[in-house]
Homo-oligomer: A and B are copies of this chain.
């Protein structure tokens, strides 16, 4: 149902203004800048825009159109849809707002009937549409100066709310986390969350699915989709509108029916859906699932250059029902022999504040080889000057099949190194609590606890 969207080569944009910053115009410019296929701007009042021939209607285009993006005001949407029907366009993204979410249920109903009657696959209305990091297909009508686009990756994100989606993409791009596909589906008039999740479940470039859901129209379909999907790949969901008051607020937003949080919780649990309780948790969980495919058990070895961070990490690990690894005698003896006396060889291993890259590399390589260790909890505080950005290469040179999770808190210097680690598929966290709860979620999903 969604394959046609992402494989589109010929895209028409209905409602490309001669004025800058208007929605259709922003989408047109965005596609021009990075999309390899053909783009056809539609505007009955312009002969050309930015040097491109403008069409008075989609019907005036000779070539077959794979996808129409509609950005005209709600009151003339039906005309545009009828034109698409005549042109035999099967895939439409309607970004326009002004339907059931503003009380205009009559228009929404009419739109829905028309789309269903002609078997048109439509995303929206009242949405941002789609973003595909690998093809440059991008209907998000928000400027890159405000909404940085993430690099290519293996996480796909579906989001009923455009605002949540755009803020999350911006944050994700800032952390240098990769995205495969992003879909903002708004009112879900034809294509709904279940259709999108099902599509992503079968999408080879998606390893992890994240979803922000306000409510679902068809509970039975949704729950059966969850069951099928979560068996295939990790599915992380935040359900908004879990309180009575929050539920009420969903009605005036995307106008969807919410359900009791108990029902959702039970269904999520039954079906191995990974429940996120906050937007932060979505990001935390997504990056560990995207980067760590295998984890053998819950024995965590902490390596740190700051004792205090080691202690709160220990607390976090225990509070998340993980275990502290117990290094073998061989590893302990080797480390005691090779490292300065001030270093504490235990769990945590405290390399102390004067730790440099070689000291980290030695401790890390020894722990990776130790059979008693399942996961490395690698705390690196870059406030101390003897450890530097070359540690990224040191870590990569050692990376084996055991998971490494990095915890590092700080401003610019730290952030740049964390971005380099994320670039190389090592999940990074600012605080131990977030890292430990993410490891727990991964183990729970893998059935290792």
Contacts and interface: CB of A to CB of B under 8 A. Distances in A.
B249 A142 contact: no
B382 A311 contact: no
Nearest to A243: B318
A101 B348 CA distance: 14
Interface in A162-196: 162-168, 170-171, 173-174
A245 interface: yes
A314 B212 CA distance: 15
Given A146-B413, A249-B314, A413-B145, A171 B308 contact: no
Interface in A398-449: 409-414, 430-433
A139 to B, nearest CB: 14
Interface stretch (A40-48, A86-94, A285-293, A338-346): A338-346
Contacts of A381: 163, 166-167
Interface in A128-163: 142-143, 145-148, 159-163
A162 B309 CA distance: 10
A352 B4 CA distance: 30
A148 B249 contact: no
B385 A311 contact: no
A264 B352 CA distance: 28
A309 B164 contact: yes
A344 B162 CA distance: 16
Interface stretch (A63-71, A108-116, A250-258): A250-258
Given A146-B385, A165-B308, A167-B306, 9 more contacts: A142-B385, A146-B410, A162-B306, A163-B384, A167-B309, A171-B430, A240-B308, A243-B319, A252-B344
Interface of A: 21, 97-98, 101-102, 142-143, 145-148, 159-168, 170-171, 173-174, 212, 214, 238, 240-246, 248-250, 252-254, 277-280, 304-312, 314-315, 317-319, 324, 341-342, 344, 346, 348, 350, 352-353, 381-385, 409-414, 430-433
17 contacts: A145-B413, A146-B382, A146-B384, A163-B306, A163-B309, A167-B410, A170-B414, A171-B411, A243-B319, A244-B318, A245-B317, A246-B314, A249-B307, A249-B311, A253-B310, A254-B307, A279-B431
